[in-house]
Amino acid sequence: MLVKNLISDEIPIPGEPNQWMRFRRLNSRRIAECSDKKQMDSMQRMKTLGKEGMELIRDAAAGRDKTAAAKADPIDTYDRDLLLKAGIHSWSYDADIKTELESEDDGLDAKTSEWAARQILEYNNLLPEVAEEASGN
């Protein structure tokens, strides 16, 4: 399916009367960019841990239940800032989206940021329960 011009309806922002956002359908390249950036950032953080830090992580991972890995939050797979920049089409705030999302000091609060990221993942069928429903399972 071509994703150009696939935009959601206005979705009310929880806890913010009369505020809404619209989200865009992302192409596979943009989704991969969001995932790749998250992986690169994680690898960079691991490099700063050094040998002892990496051994601690390996030991903790070895003791972790495999079902816990399966229950990992899908939002953690993607770079949130990049996901928001790519996925928010428009909003009702009296502020420029690009300026706000690229600013170090401004932008969305943590709660709204997480809500918007989840909306983007849902709209793009990237949440497990949404993906299962879409496939008819």
pLDDT digit string, tens, across residues 37-76:
877 777 676 667 667 766 766 677 676 655 555 567 788 8
The pLDDT of residue 48 is 73
- Whole-angstrom Cα distance, residue 137 to residue 129? 9
Contacts of 52 (CB under 8 A, 6+ apart): none
For residue 81, pLDDT beyond 50: yes
Digit-coded pLDDT (tens) for 83-134? 999 999 999 999 999 899 888 777 899 999 999 999 999 999 998 864 444 4
Is residue 136 over pLDDT 60? no
Which pLDDT belongs to residue 102? 87
pLDDT of 130: 44
What one-letter code names the amino acid at 126? Answer: L
Give the pLDDT mean for 19-48. 84
State residue 8's pLDDT score.
Answer: 92
CA distance 110 to 93: 16
Angle at 92 between CA 123 and CA 12, to 5 degrees: 50
Cβ 77 vs Cβ 117: under 8 Å = no
Q: Would you state the pLDDT for residue 83?
A: 94
Residue type, 95: A
Residue 131: the pLDDT is 45
| DSSP per-residue letters across 8-37 | PPPEEPTTSTT-EEEEBPPPHHHHHHHHHH
Q: Tokens 């793009």 correspond to what residue?
A: 124
| Residue 127 and residue 121 in contact, taking contact as beta carbons nearer than 8 Å | yes
What's residue 47's pLDDT? 67
Amino acid, single-letter form, for residue 55: E
Q: How far is CA 92 from CA 12, 73, 84, in A?
A: 10, 28, 15
- Entry pTM: 0.72
